[in-house]
Chains A and B, each alone.
Chain A
Amino acid sequence: MSDMIQMNGIQAINAAMMEAMAADPKVLVLGEDVGDREGGGVTGTMKGLSSKFGTDRVKSTPISEQAIMGAAIGAAMAGYKPVAEIMMMNFTTVAMDMIVNHAAKLRFMSGGQTSVPLTIRTLTGAGWQTAGQHSDFFEGWFAHTAGIKVVAGSNPADLKGLLLSCIDDPDPCIFIEGGMTLFVPGEVAADQGPIPLGKAKVVVPGSDVTIVSWSAQVLRCQMALQGLAEAGISAELIDLRTISPWDRACVLESVAKTGRAMIVHEAVRSFGPGAEIAATINEELFGQLKKPVCRLGAPQCPVPFAKALEDAYIVQPDAIVAAAKALMD
């Protein structure tokens, strides 16, 4: 085993970028404020890249999300591997045509003649009182679009490994950085390499309930583990890591064992990715379920500003424990 290094998510993402850019001159970076002259990105994930690899490969852009995405698509079609930062996930909305109608579809529509191997990195998450236009998890929107992979790590090692895989993937990937996951330290192997996309991870094994989650909500599920243990519930926590295409085998194997399933995501519950997973579990394991599949997500409303409302909007560890208890009744 190689040495383990303690780092947070920001450092892990930075390490992935440093390695990817050093290994492959085709890897490019573009986005608002990503250059060192501008501070290396709002959270500092891109620090040092422009100094080390030059401002031809690492470009700070105007505030022009549509043009950022378009430039990334074009460069990707021409053989480069751009990593485009859309500062916050809500700002992908002004680049949706480029992402949904072009990045995701060009390979198919061209009958495989062109492809768009780009990575979109984007930050989001409620809990910072940034209200309705700076906190949404839109992974469901992208997962509902054929042709783009949707990835979200929850800890430094996964963030590094998954980002490396996104960069190397032959197709467009959106790599979601849940705000909370960037600041929690963790151990990362010095030689941490790519982690395959589409592969979930069993964080904690258990026998009573399968809990499927991703990004920041994995952290809240982990906070719930003690409460679950105290209630005598043996939970198996699965970090999905890739939301689309998702690891059906891992989830179904676990639920076949526990007979109870809960999906916990930060996005609005209605029409969320939890519904897709629940439906699949129902289709595949109908006779083996001890209880209907449970979905926990935000209420159908924009992310509110007031602290009390925002706390209630996010599925908290208490709610996870309570829902698991209900599944055990």
Chain B
Amino acid sequence: MAELSNAARPDGPALVDIYRRMLRVERNDDAIRAALRRGRLQMPYYSARGQEVIPATISHLLTQEDQICTIYRGIQDMVAKDMPLKPLWAEIAGRVDGTCKGKGGPMHLTYPDMGIMVTTGIVGSSMPIANGLAWAAQLDGSKRVVVAYFGDGASNIGAFHESLNMASVWKLPVLFVCANNGFAEHTRYEDATSVDFIARRAAGYGMPGFTVDGNDADDMYAHVTAAIDRARSGEGPTLLECKTFRFLGHVLGDDDFYMDKEAKAAAMAADPLPALRARLIAEGHASEADLAALQAAIEAEVADAQEFGMNSPVPSLDELRRDVFAEEMPA
């Protein structure tokens, strides 16, 4: 595994923006869970609570044109990339104003205007498609980069290995971002993975690989900056293994019998969200009043989006015949 020679560091405004994105993710996640508890929403939900630094830092460093392919746990990746919340809420409520007209739901949210190209429920499948989007960027002569988000468990499926090899051979502008939260459903990392660090696998495919503290904005900032620079300059892909922890299990309602209780307690005590907040205050990047105002604005946005989503109409049954092909299927 390589070391960064020249580590970029986030300045105050960058840290504030990363925190803003994290808070937007977390407040939205909180509202979704509350709506599920109250029966206002019905869906399988894979919370990413605890993993916010990863998409917040990456999204801070991406442009709107840059694209992402993400997974069932990826609502955070979209919200961090500033996807508007109204179509998101309408979609998870299964309504017609949803970004997929209620047909895709939480596991398949898509919003190309903000570069949110694919959400997959199939482990590993974000990666091959990210390659194709990156190839298109290359052909277009564009500087855009593509992020493929996935989990540690996904590094054991063929799609990972095939995609890394191809991306490397074709020097594709892809960031392979593995959120290593230590578990794949109920399977522990060490029980299913042949290497102690997933980043080691990059060597086999001739690309740089880094194990990063995915809960640390500085570490993430430095490595993501380097990976984006490399991709934009045509040198090819990077594998970033971002170590983190998911606080709420695999799927909402999942108990944590398979987790080491102390490790979980320690991870939760080190919650990166309040930690970054405290740092912003301590280092003078923001005041209590600034952050309270930020939070109030985000909460208002979330509440508004929720209201909008819940009040959007249910899709008509004609939707079953639309979008199967470009041309509507006959009734």
A interface residues, Cβ below 8 angstroms from B:
32-33, 37-39, 42, 60-67, 90-91, 93-94, 128-134, 299-302, 304-309, 312-313
Residues of A within 8 A of B63 (CB): none
15 examples of A-B residue contacts, CB within 8 angstroms: A32-B187, A62-B153, A66-B157, A94-B122, A94-B124, A94-B158, A94-B159, A131-B107, A133-B107, A299-B321, A299-B329, A306-B103, A309-B102, A309-B103, A312-B320
Query: Quick one: which of B121, B258, B329 has the most chain A CB within 10 A?
Result: B121
Interface range on chain B (Cβ under 8 Å from partner): 35 or more
The 5 closest A-B pairs by CB, nearest first: A305-B105, A306-B94, A306-B102, A62-B156, A38-B186
Within 8 A of A (CB), among B155-198: 156-159, 184-187, 191-193
Whether A304 lies near B102 (C-beta < 8 A) is yes
Closest to A128 in B: B44
In the complex, whether B287 has a CB less than 8 A from a CB of chain A is no
Q: When the two chains form their complex, are residues A300 and B122 in contact, meaning their CB atoms are under 8 A apart? A: no
Which residues in B have their C-beta under 8 angstroms from that of A301? 320-321, 324, 329
Given the known A-B contacts A39-B258, A94-B158, A129-B94, are A60 and B191 also in contact in the complex, defined by CB atoms under 8 Å?
yes
Decide: A61 and B104 in contact? CB cutoff 8 A.
Answer: no
**Residue on B nearest A91 in the bound complex, by CB:** B122
Check if B315 sits within 8 Å of A306, measured CB to CB: yes
Main secondary structure of the interface of B (DSSP, over half): loop
Residues on B facing A (Cβ under 8 Å):
42-44, 91, 94-95, 100, 102-108, 120-124, 153-154, 156-159, 184-187, 191-193, 257-258, 314-315, 317, 319-321, 324, 329
Measured CA separation A302–B107 after assembly (Å): 14
Chain A residues near B106: list those with CB within 8 A: 305
Task: Say how far B304's CB is from chain A's closest CB, in angstroms.
Answer: 22
Give me 12 other A-B pairs in contact (C-beta within 8 A), A131-B108, A301-B329 excluded.
Answer: A37-B191, A60-B192, A63-B124, A94-B157, A129-B43, A129-B44, A130-B121, A304-B102, A304-B319, A305-B91, A305-B105, A309-B94
Q: How far is the CA of A186 from the CA of B36 in the complex (A)?
A: 31
The one of A65, A67, A132 that contacts B108, using a Cβ cutoff of 8 Å: A132
Cα distance A42–B104 in the bound complex, in angstroms? 23
B-chain residues with CB within 8 Å of residue A132 when the two chains form the complex:
103-104, 108, 121
| Chain B residues, CB < 8 A from A302 | 103, 324
- Given the known interface contacts A32-B185, A63-B124, A309-B319, the answer about A129 and B257 at a Cβ–Cβ threshold of 8 Å is no
When chains A and B are docked, how far (Å) is the Cα of A128 from the Cα of B105? Answer: 12
A60 to B187 alpha-carbon distance, docked (Å): 8
Cβ contacts under 8 Å, A313 to chain B:
320
- Asked if B191 contacts A305 (CB within 8 A), the reply is no
Asked whether A306 lies within 8 Å of B317 as measured between CB atoms, the reply is: no
Assess the B314–A63 pair: CB atoms within 8 A: no
User: Which residues of A are found within 8 Å of B103, using beta-carbon distances?
Assistant: 131-132, 302, 304-306, 309
CA distance A128 to B193 in the complex (A): 31
Chain A contacts for B105, CB-based, 8 A: 129, 131, 305-306
Q: Which of A38, A128, A131, A134 contacts B185 (CB 8 A)?
A: A38
Which residues of the partner chain A approach B156 to less than 8 Å between Cβ atoms?
62-64
> Which single residue of chain B is at the shortest CB-CB distance from A38?
B186
Contact B317 A312 (CB under 8 A): yes
In contact, A133 and B321 (Cβ under 8 angstroms): no
Report B-chain residues with C-beta under 8 Å of the C-beta of A128.
44
Shortest B109–chain A CB gap in Å is 10
Which of A64, A90, A300, A309 is within 8 Å of B317, CB to CB?
A: A309
Q: Within the complex, which residue of B123, B159, B317 is in contact with A308, where a contact is CB–CB below 8 Å? A: B317
Query: Please, which residues of chain B bring their CB within 8 A of the CB of A307?
Result: 42, 94, 314
Q: How far is the CA of A91 from the CA of B258 in the complex (A)?
A: 24
Which residues of A have CB within 8 Å of B258? Answer: 37-39
CA distance in complex: A129, B43 (Å): 6
Asked, given contacts A38-B258, A63-B192, whether A305 binds B186 with beta carbons under 8 Å apart, the answer is: no
Of A130, A131, A300, A305, which is in contact with the most chain B CB atoms at under 10 Å from its CB?
A305
Contact present for B94 and A64 (CB under 8 Å): no
